[in-house]
Chain A
Amino acid sequence: MARNYFELFGLPVRFDIDREDLARRHRELIRTWHPDRFAQGSSQERRLAVEMSADLNDGVKVLRDPIDRARYVLKLNGVSTDEETDTVMDAAFLQDQMTWRERLEESQGDAVVVDGLVAEVATLRTHKEAALSRALAQEAGSGFAGARQLVRELQFLRRFADELDDVQAGVS
């Protein structure tokens, strides 16, 4: 029984989402469907409650995260991001990545440089997410090529942001 996560939370299938509203909906539903609410129920009810709660927990995780949510919207449209096999990236994007990595290496953990990089990456991620939202809304008839590309780029950016996080944790 595969539930559509947007339907699960009573939301339209749309990339743009109010995360606080999603969290409230999740909390409301899990309060009702958690297996502890059926501790005195039949084994069937307990099993169904476990399945429902597991879907609610997985659903909120997927929908909360912009990259997972975009992949999920694409999947519902029958489109795979093929991130393992399709690794073609935009040349300019790759060039930016290399420049950033050089700056990070040369900084030797210098807080000012790292903080600057963190801010740049954050800004770019915000822009890319906005572009992704537009692409998902507009490319329905044309195969979502732009959206797929943006998902891959955002995945790159997230990994780099995580590395910067680690460096920051090390210097502070």
Chain B
Amino acid sequence: MALLQISEPGQSPLPHERRRAAGIDLGTTNSLIATVRDGHVQVLGDAEGRILLPSVVRFHADGAATIGQAAAEAEVSDPLNTIASVKRLMGRGRAEIGASPYDLSSTDEGPVRLRTVAGEKTPVEVSAHILRALKARAEAYLGGELSGVVITVPAYFDEPQRQATKDAARLAGLPVLRLLNEPTAAAVAYGLDRNPEGLYCVYDLGGGTFDVSLLRLSQGVFEVLATGGDALLGGDDMDAALVRHWMGEGARATSPSETRQLLRAARHARERLSGETEIMIDVPGVFQGLLNRATLEGLIDPLIERTLAPCRRVLKDAGVKVADIHEVVLVGGATRTPRLRERIEGFFRKAPLHDIDPDQVVAIGAARQADLLIGNAGAADMLLLDVIPLSLGLEIMGGLVEKIIPRNSPIPASRAQEFTTYKDGQTALALHVVQGERDLVSDCRSLARFSLRGIPPMVAGAARIRVTFRVDADGLLSVTARELTQGIESEITVKPSFGLSDADIERMLGDSIIHASDDALMRALREQQVEADRMIVAVEAAMAEGADLLMENERTAIERQMVLLQSVKGGTDPQAIRAAIVSLDQASADFAARRMDAGLRKAMTGRSVTEFS
């Protein structure tokens, strides 16, 4: 599709042209995949029809991996090689993780690594195994390779966690159309069938994370006004509180297996205890006793209370009152707890909606969005406008943070700020990019460090250095720094301190046993060929339509690069195709930008105000 050639509503592609797309909920406890077929969302199960894939991966000495239910069954017998809840480790360094049931490598460099019989594994590699299992489900169901997926992440995920999720998809050979925030996905699942208008609050309590988002829905636009949460609070914490209580009452859990049984009993208890005032807990040989409502409430209320603080903050950030909210939507398995529903209703003074299965609602929304982005949904005039969950900033003198893009800014976002040197003759400037709400650098998450060098020597305060932050629609950041008097530029796409380098990923792709059968080079070649075709179509269309904006020398340069790309794209070297794409991109970038501005002016002139309503 060329710029300005946006397909008209109602022009949905013919069935045989439909491309395979899916939505993936990569959860802490369970993962799911869903796809749209004939306009209906299908959540896909395994051969036995089980929809939830436990997010558990077991590594074997021969390098093979077992994923899902079979792996979960080995959690007790083979605890160090069976990795569960890996989502909690995504985008984290060793020092950021406290006690862990796994054998973590002691190195502080890069992402945390888990030692297994199959060697050291990063959380990205573990997640890639889960994604491959889901991919296989979808490809079996759809009868061919997936062209694109939408993967959901907690809205409160920071930059390194998002990047790690995207890296895992790359490793699994999944083309990512978009990372989508889980509450936004849930809103899509609820919204599309009802065509609602007004303010929606999505309360999402999963096994390990809590998110709350406030959205305004209007004419197919899902606009997130504010989001908040707690990346380390989930239903698991409620179960742990109950188990601690039982241990105090004489429960004896001497093995991991017994602890697991107690945790399971805790979850059942909090989901059951509503109508009844008292239930019997019986874990043979471990614990037997009565649990009454008051005790349960005493244990879980403080945790529920902790979810209400982000709810209040989100309301305040959006400048919205409880009474303004149209509906409250519950997402996540932990919201099955009757006490929690009671407290939510009390807080929002409204009974929350939970008629779509809280375990499936996120994957359903993601599948809808994937179908739209891949170009199958045609007529659905839906647009999701999301925000960044946490402020992005730079370290300034005194260990303080200067916020460049505040939390809840709509994305894509771009903000520039000027800085100067503080010493006479200073020729380099070290930049430290951080994320978080606190004023001190030490209280925020460090994202990346880089330097701008070659600043001409000047007196302190004379240099003008513009630092630009850009956040794309996935919430991923790139930072550029430019010295304005001389034009010296330094650019990085933030590869977080605890992320994988491109070289790491290439190596993993090469190493991976799973990929021995599945030629990574062929895939790379195909990707570049697809991109080459898109580029040629777009530039040709632009040249045909925007000839008046094209200068003669520009036309010559673009045509030369076009011929070059045409000639290499049929070859077998992905690098050569990539290089030709980049050259054509450079030759045509100014022209494309001019066309865009012309299109914008055309859209905005000659129209009366009333036409915008």
A-B contact pairs, 5 of them (CB 8 A): A29-B604, A36-B178, A40-B1, A41-B2, A45-B2
* A55 touches which of B316, B414, B537, B589 (Cβ 8 Å): B414
Number of interface residues of B (CB under 8 A): 50
If the complex has contacts A27-B221, A29-B604, A34-B473, are A54 and B609 also in contact, measured as CB distance less than 8 A? no
If the complex has contacts A41-B2, A44-B589, are A21 and B538 also in contact, measured as CB distance less than 8 A? no
Q: Are B585 and A57 in contact (CB under 8 A)?
A: no
Q: Known pairs A45-B3, A48-B3, A57-B413. 9 more at Cβ < 8 A?
A: A28-B603, A32-B6, A33-B596, A41-B3, A41-B538, A42-B538, A51-B412, A51-B414, A54-B471
The tally of CB-CB contacts under 8 A between chains A and B is 122
* A167: Cβ under 8 A from any B Cβ: no
* A25 touches which of B581, B592, B604 (Cβ 8 Å): B604
Residues of A within 8 A of B374 (CB): 39-40
Residues of A within 8 A of B607 (CB): 10
- 5 cross-chain pairs, A with B, having the tightest CB-CB distances, nearest first: A10-B604, A54-B414, A24-B612, A39-B373, A54-B412
Q: Are B383 and A30 in contact (CB under 8 A)?
A: yes
Q: Mark B67-110, 1 if CB is under 8 A from A, else 0.
A: 00000000000000000000000000000000000000000000
Q: Mark A1-32, 1 if CB is under 8 A from B, else 0.
A: 10100011110000000100100110111111
| Size class of the contact patch on chain A | 35 or more
* B605: Cβ under 8 A from any A Cβ: yes
Residues of A within 8 A of B589 (CB): 44, 48
Q: Which residue of B lies closest to A23 (CB)?
A: B612
A39 to chain B, nearest CB (A): 4
- A interface residues, Cβ below 8 angstroms from B: 1, 3, 7-10, 18, 21, 24-25, 27-45, 48, 50-55, 57-58, 61, 169
Q: Are A44 and B6 in contact (CB under 8 A)?
A: no
If the complex has contacts A25-B612, A28-B612, A40-B1, are A45 and B412 also in contact, measured as CB distance less than 8 A? no
Residues of A within 8 A of B600 (CB): 8, 29, 33, 52
Bound Cα distance A133, B471 (Å) = 33
* A48 touches which of B535, B593, B603 (Cβ 8 Å): B593
Bound Cα distance A40, B410 (Å) = 22
For window 373-388 of B, CB contacts with A under 8 Å fall at: 373-375, 383-385
Residues of B within 8 A of A24 (CB): 609, 612-613
Residues of A within 8 A of B148 (CB): 39
Residues of A within 8 A of B596 (CB): 33, 48, 52
Bound Cα distance A58, B414 (Å) = 7
For window 1-45 of B, CB contacts with A under 8 Å fall at: 1-3, 6
Q: Which residue of B lies closest to A38 (CB)?
A: B1
